[in-house]
Structure 1
């Protein structure tokens, strides 16, 4: 009876150790993980900069003179690049948030769909940012 209960020899399980910071470049994250990390970073930046942006909006709406001042301030190329970075952060966060809302409805949870939707988020957010950049730099 004891021979019938005997188990097959156990296979060696892989040993996982803690990852050191210097080993991070050896690991390749999936695209969905990159989009998720970008969603968190862009959300944090939008959260931090929202009071400043609202303050600038309030100041520009005070009078025609203050509007003209801020309109002139936005003509500097460095300011345009900062605005473009803020726009990209907002577009990335918005598109990724829509993706997460769709996934909350249990749509596109399999590996293939998640990979396609994360690529779509990156493409759509970059295209929308490009459209804003063309308008910001006076192409149309």
Structure 2
């Protein structure tokens, strides 16, 4: 037998509610969770929000004017901005995951950088689309 005995492996127990607030995920972990959240948001809102608005806007000129007046309300614009963010984040993170599936950038430092790039790009695009949505130009 060797003098260096193997250390016992650490045992990880379930964390409690109080420990969740103190737990710090890496940036890639946060990106992964938000990718799932944005996917669920889009999955639920396409049949409940987007398709009914699209169908009503295509029905007639009068219904289009009605949809345009509803979408002109600031609260509805905020809801649409959240959906825009969800789509852009899910799209950008999905491209990152496709690149990772090609075994490009899978080391820790590259993965952290690519997660940061996804956050910056998706938020910048959301700001651009949000400015357009709220009538900046």
TM range (shorter): over 0.9
The alpha carbon displacement at 1:116 in A equals: 0.5
SS in 2 for 1:7: coil
2:135 aligned with 1:115, yes or no?
no
How far does the alpha carbon of each residue in 1:7-28 deviate from its partner, in whole angstroms, 9 at most, with x for none?
Answer: 3263454343221121112221
TM-score by length of 2: 0.93
Mapped partners of 2:45, 2:103: distance in 1: 32
2:22 aligned with 1:43, yes or no?
no
2:5 aligned with 1:14, yes or no?
no
88, 91, 107: which one pairs with 1:94? 91
TM-score by length of 1: 0.91
Mapped partners of 1:43, 1:27: distance in 2: 24
1:75 maps to 72
Mapped partners of 1:13, 1:54: distance in 2: 52
Please, which moves more after superposition, 51-60 or 7-16? Answer: 7-16
1:3 maps to none
SS in 2 for 1:61: helix
Gaps in structure 1 of 5+ consecutive residues = 1-5
Gaps in structure 2 of 5+ consecutive residues = none
The alpha carbon displacement at 1:109 in A equals: 0.4
RMSD in angstroms over aligned alpha carbons? Answer: 1.3
Larger radius of gyration: 1
Mapped partners of 2:58, 2:8: distance in 1: 69
